[in-house]
Structure 1
Amino acid sequence: MKLLRIGPAGREKPAALVGDDEVVDVSDIVTDFDDSFFGSGGLARIAPIVAERARTGERIPLAGRRIGAPIARPHQIICVGLNYSDHAKETGQAVPTEPILFTKSPNTLVGPNDDVRIPRGSTKPDWEVELGIVIGARTSYLDSVEQARDHIAGWVLVNDVSERAFQMERGGQWLKGKSAETFNPAGPWLVTPDEVADVTDLGMWLDVNGERRQTGSTATMIFDPFVIVHYISQFMVLEPGDLINTGTPPGVGMGFVPPVWLREGDTIELGIDGLGAQRQTVIGPR
């Protein structure tokens, strides 16, 4: 399934994609794609209903409708830094021996085509196409990497927008460079694992103003999604609906010589094979 939320910000309704450009409304059977939905086995319950409505129900054209983030605000967003071998090389940093973890404020989450706002005082705003993991069950102290598969609800495309001066030059606290409003566009949909043959071999790309900046593949991940979920579970409890951003391939702005930073008026477009595409316009501070 491909699950999404459509409607004005703060009033999105849960739906499921049918074909390429139509949806079926499921708001009469599920309040939202949130912790209670994922934690109560909602994916398994909703699957046959979505299949039946795809055959016989009213289909709604997606064109012209706002798409929100495919999950309601999670309890937490956990991020993995320097998780692509080719990205670590472009930054001049050593390949990590364990996943580098940091958090991102959950209220950064916005829809895939919503504006990205540069924060006040920003001088080095940057982009990062990433694979996101949505947690499907309460997860703690997993016994094996293989067990992590049963705790994943699905995959989602994310743009882990960053402010490098805040991240690197203000005490080295990455949270500050990652948590400005609008800094986590997600979607357009959550794709359940059964629809992705091999999540460790997905092409990724990102353009700024029509110029290709990032081209990569999840194949160059240092720690794959299942290793990541198992690893994080040894240090904290992951709740249903939580989001994990798993790192980015090379081509981020700070990797260019000289660096290239986002500016007001820029357009960012990005995608991952099988997970859809996003498009954001960069706007100035409030």
Structure 2
Amino acid sequence: MDTQDQDWARVLGFDRLPYDTVDKRVTDLLDLRGKKAIVTGAGGDGLGQAIANRLGGCGADIALVGRTFEKVQRRAAEVEQRWGVRAVPIKADMSDWDQVHRAVAESREALGGLDIMVNNPVMVSAGAFERHTKQEIDLTVLGSLTMMMYGAHAALEFLLEQGSGKIINIGAVAGRVQQNGLTVYAACKAGVIGFTRNLAYEFASRGVNVLAVAPGIMIKEDMKRYLMAPRNDAERAGRDSVAESITQRVQLGRAALPEEVANVVAFLASPAADYMCGQTIDVAGGQWMG
């Protein structure tokens, strides 16, 4: 091969094509044994614990990070018992810059490495925008966008050093569609899409791949309570928006279980998705813009 041919082969990345995967089953590519993952917001009954369970079920060791240690401790024990992987509970308030960086460092040390960072912030204010207080707006921006940036920043300290790894941000389909009662939250989730795209653009060439998942309406216990409780004027707009979305905008005609969204997170974390970069994948039952 002459010099010109060698240059052309290098441009096309022939030396980096994953030929070793050609003869494997897709199920083999979903095997995460030996991988080390951090999942934030993993102490409750929603998406965080579902993601931890899915990654653990694929063989990864997991650090579950949450604000209440007893909750992440319980979830970590469930993951270990169910899947026989190592699961470590880490207490941290992800709205605190120093605690986030400490939690990521502690997780990496406890697991013996870091390959996958799942940013799953959980903080939402719903209702008519004109009735939002400053505190509600600030908390929604903090919990829906800023905390994600903190987590990515902390993970990059280690992923860039080793020149490999994945960051998976949890957004929401609200970042693509307009919905009454979710103006601040939806704006933040649109920011997650842009943050993911730009972070990938900045760091893909340095070995760190960034992707995102955008869930639609997921049914968990707090959502059930929210939808079934007696209505008041302050919450009417938010709940009406949820009901309208399910009945009129979701093509599959139902809400999702957190585990259905976690399936896609596990796929993106695996080698099966290694040629995806900077994208946000909707997992929302075909929810469309009205």
For normalisation by structure 1, the TM-score amounts to 0.29
Greater strand percent: which structure?
1
Larger Rg: 2
Per chain length, whose mean CA-contact separation is higher, i.e. which structure has more relative contact order (CA < 8 Å, sep 6+)? 1
